[in-house]
């Protein structure tokens, strides 16, 4: 089994204590987001790999040594300001954290995500090309792969259009991003790739690759994973099957382009119901919950 920690919320940034408690206890309970009374119980003894996704690895840096599992990190690092990403740490601190993480787990076990890319009067092509070059220069020797994706038409994106003010990409925009990003990555000994984007930019030197392919999963765990991640099937993603232990509307970064948050009041409410000693990320088990042990 592969745990995704997490595409639904930033567990590392806000819930590291809870996660470390669950590792110690040996199990995690996860409510089905579409059928809340159905709870999956995950025995951590069945977990082969933990795939962390975070914008702030700082809270877990000094606790990596206590995780007795194979781990793989995606760390999102974007050039946006506070009006877009209100609650992220200073970018310099995140970059230093990425360097420390790389030294701890090895650069082949960490990917930086420049995600999502959008264009506006503030965040122009020139802005992005300079920002991407700077990130590559600062992380040279610490990261070998950078993944990019483009902004999608999520509910939260539409809701925050007055803040994002993004415009559609033209083919010339894709060409500029493709050539400049590819050159920056190459000049700093990195590969830049996309996962399930409609425009994969391979004609400009990008590599089209899954976030966690079957080949990479085998390399990391020594096990063969035949199934793809059904939760991403409609998005034409071919990543291996993973189990996401997060909860929607529970991330306090409040990024204006986020797909997993769409109700900030609900985020605050959920966070108030978080107990670091509960088996659930948000709330507690109830007597009428249906608990089923998950094996894969």
Q: What share of the chain in percent tops pLDDT 90?
A: 87
57 found inside a domain = yes
- The Cα 6–Cα 245 span in angstroms is 6
pLDDT interval class at 232 (50, 70, 90): low
Q: Report the pLDDT value the prediction gives residue 238, as an integer from 0 to 100.
A: 79
Q: Which residue has the higher pLDDT, 236 or 222?
A: 222
The CATH number covering residue 237 comes to 3.80.30
Q: What angle do CA 126, 57, 3 make, to 5 degrees?
A: 110
Q: Which residue has the higher pLDDT, 231 or 7?
A: 7
Is-above-0.75 flag for pTM? yes
Q: Report the pLDDT value the prediction gives residue 227, as an integer from 0 to 100.
A: 81
Write the pLDDT tens digit of every residue in 222-231: 999 888 877 6
Q: Where are the alpha helices (H) located in 47-170, listed in sequence order?
A: 91-105, 125-138, 155-159, 161-164
Summarize the confidence of residues 43-72 as an average pLDDT. Answer: 97
pLDDT at 235 over 60: no
294 found inside a domain = no
pLDDT interval class at 171 (50, 70, 90): very high
Averaged pLDDT of the chain: 94
290 found inside a domain = no
Q: Which residue has the higher pLDDT, 232 or 92?
A: 92
Summarize the confidence of residues 259-272 as an average pLDDT. Answer: 94
User: Total domain count for the chain?
Assistant: 1
291 found inside a domain = no
286 found inside a domain = no
Partners of 119 in beta bridges? 167
Q: Which domain holds residue 220?
A: 2-281
Burial degree of 141 (CB within 10 A; 0-12, 13-18, 19+): exposed
Q: Which residue has the higher pLDDT, 213 or 282?
A: 282
Summarize the confidence of residues 240-251 as an average pLDDT. Answer: 95
293 found inside a domain = no
Q: Report the pLDDT value the prediction gives residue 110, as an integer from 0 to 100.
A: 97
Summarize the confidence of residues 246-268 as an average pLDDT. Answer: 94
288 found inside a domain = no
pLDDT at 272 over 80: yes
295 found inside a domain = no
Summarize the confidence of residues 210-221 as an average pLDDT. Answer: 92
Alpha-carbon distances, residue 17 vs 21, 113, 189, 274, 275 (angstroms): 6, 24, 35, 11, 10
Q: Report the pLDDT value the prediction gives residue 236, as an integer from 0 to 100.
A: 61
54, 55, 57, 59 alpha-carbon torsion, rounded to 10°: -100
């Amino acid at each position: 089994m592969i745990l995704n920690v997490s595409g639904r919320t930033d567990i590392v940034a806000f819930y590291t204590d809870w996660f470390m408690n669950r590792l110690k206890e040996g199990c995690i309970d996860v409510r089905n987001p579409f059928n809340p009374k159905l709870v999956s119980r995950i025995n951590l003894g069945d977990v082969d790999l933990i795939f962390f996704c975070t914008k702030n690895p700082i809270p877990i840096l000094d606790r990596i040594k206590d995780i007795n599992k194979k781990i793989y990190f995606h760390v999102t690092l974007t050039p946006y300001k506070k009006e877009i990403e209100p609650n992220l740490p200073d970018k310099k601190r995140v970059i230093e954290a990425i360097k420390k993480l790389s030294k701890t787990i090895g650069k082949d076990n960490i990917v930086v995500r420049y995600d999502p890319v959008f264009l506006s009067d503030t965040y122009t092509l020139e802005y992005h090309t300079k920002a991407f070059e700077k990130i590559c220069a600062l992380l040279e020797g610490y990261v070998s792969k950078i993944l990019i994706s483009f902004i999608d038409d999520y509910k939260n994106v539409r809701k925050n259009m007055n803040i994002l003010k993004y415009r559609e990409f033209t083919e010339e925009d894709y060409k500029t991003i493709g050539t400049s990003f590819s050159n920056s990555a190459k000049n700093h000994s990195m590969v830049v790739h996309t996962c399930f984007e409609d425009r994969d930019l391979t004609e400009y030197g990008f590599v089209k690759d899954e976030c966690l392919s079957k080949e990479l999963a085998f390399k990391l765990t020594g096990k063969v994973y035949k199934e793809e991640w059904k939760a991403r099937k409609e998005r034409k993603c071919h990543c291996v099957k993973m189990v996401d232990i997060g909860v929607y509307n529970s991330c306090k970064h409040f990024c204006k382009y986020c797909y997993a948050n769409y109700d900030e009041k609900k985020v605050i409410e959920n966070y108030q119901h978080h107990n670091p000693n509960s088996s659930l990320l948000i709330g507690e088990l109830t007597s009428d919950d249906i608990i089923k042990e998950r094996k894969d």
